[in-house]
């Protein structure tokens, strides 16, 4: 793993994402841009159609899809448990501990993870990564919201909220179409393809816009623990669980990269909504995103060669 290989990997796979995100960040700092509206467009249109298109056009079978769901759940559970144990060892206060668990358990598998997997390993790995993303989204909108709510939201309300996720219906319809072999009419297929092609650029711009809301936290110990645990232990946990789940080839590449992503931008929204140390959460998200090339670059090189 030479310096030249690492630099080439960074320049070809991570730098394009960071440059587009930087453009979104600058746009958000210089102009009044409603990131919430853009986020809703991505959430309700682009993201579901991207996942639908990937599932329809890929060779991903049902067994691989269920295997990825199990793998994703295991990654989130293990990372959350490790964050809890480390937080206790470092004697974090309750609110800081919950904020660290939230950011360590849920990575940025959409805005950042999907384009990175596409650039690094292509559409077959991207199809697997999309299942990881869907599973993370469902778990974040149930388990993640319950963690952040600190008792203000009951589990039933969080579970019912899952049925408002358009991405869930995109997956269900895609599985139905693949299972029955129904052919999508050309006008509709092209409409879906156009929207899917616009999803990743929109996601990256949204990432940059969301990062403009950074707040600095005075709890440096909690920030350092959250960032270090997510970036350093995430790849390790991803690789170990990939071996345990028997993942090989594109499924291994797509899943492990997703497991190693920095904290999800969506955690800042939930933390703000439920007053769960929003400055701490946004600091972990921002620093993790900025530092992530240091861990993701060698991981991509390793996965490409193994």
Q: Which of 197, 176, 195, 177 is nearest to 185 (CA)?
A: 177
Q: What is the CATH number of the domain that holds 189?
A: 1.20.1530.20
Residue 128, pLDDT score: 92
Domain containing residue 36:
9-294
Contact between 233 and 64 (Cβ < 8 Å): no
Contact between 140 and 103 (Cβ < 8 Å): no
Average pLDDT over the chain reads 86
Tens digit of each residue's pLDDT (9 = 90 or more) over 208-245: 887 787 766 668 889 999 999 999 999 999 999 999 99
Residue 151, pLDDT score: 47
68 in a structural domain: yes
Tens digit of each residue's pLDDT (9 = 90 or more) over 140-183: 877 777 777 654 555 566 666 667 778 788 888 888 887 788 88
38 in a structural domain: yes
Q: Provide the whole-model pTM.
A: 0.85
Distance CA 42, CA 136 (A): 16
Q: Total domain count for the chain?
A: 1
Residue 152, pLDDT score: 53
Residue 1, pLDDT score: 65
Tens digit of each residue's pLDDT (9 = 90 or more) over 21-60: 899 899 888 888 877 788 788 878 888 888 888 778 777 7
Q: Mean per-residue pLDDT for 95-105?
A: 92
195 in a structural domain: yes
């Amino acid at each position: 793993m030479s310096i030249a290989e690492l630099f080439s990997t960074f320049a070809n796979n991570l730098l394009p994402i960071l440059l587009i995100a930087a453009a979104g960040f600058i746009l958000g700092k210089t102009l009044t841009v409603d990131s919430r509206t853009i986020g809703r467009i991505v959430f309700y249109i682009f993201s579901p159609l991207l996942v639908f298109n990937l599932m329809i056009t890929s060779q991903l079978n049902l067994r691989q899809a269920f295997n990825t769901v199990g793998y994703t759940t295991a990654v989130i559970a293990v990372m959350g448990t490790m964050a809890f144990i480390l937080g206790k060892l470092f004697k974090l206060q309750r609110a800081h501990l919950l904020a660290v668990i939230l950011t360590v358990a849920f990575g940025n598998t959409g805005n950042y993870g999907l384009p990175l997997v596409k650039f690094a390993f292509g559409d077959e790995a991207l199809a697997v990564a999309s299942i990881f993303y869907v599973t993370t989204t469902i778990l974040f909108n149930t388990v993640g919201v319950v963690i952040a709510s600190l008792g203000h939201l009951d589990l039933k309300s969080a579970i019912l909220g899952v049925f408002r996720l358009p991405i869930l219906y995109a997956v269900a319809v895609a599985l139905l179409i693949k299972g029955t072999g129904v052919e999508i009419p050309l006008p509709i297929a092209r409409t879906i393809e156009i929207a899917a092609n616009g999803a990743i650029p929109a996601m990256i711009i949204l990432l940059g816009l969301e990062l403009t809301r950074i707040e600095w936290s005075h709890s440096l110990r909690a920030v350092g623990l959250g960032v270090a645990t997510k970036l350093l232990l995430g790849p390790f946990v991803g690789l170990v669980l990939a071996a345990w789940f028997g993942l090989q080839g594109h499924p291994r590449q797509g899943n492990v990269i997703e497991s190693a992503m920095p904290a999800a931008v969506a955690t800042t929204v939930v933390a703000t909504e439920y007053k769960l140390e929003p400055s701490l959460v946004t600091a972990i998200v921002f620093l993790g995103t900025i530092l992530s090339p240091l861990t993701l670059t060698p991981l991509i090189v390793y996965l490409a060669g193994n």
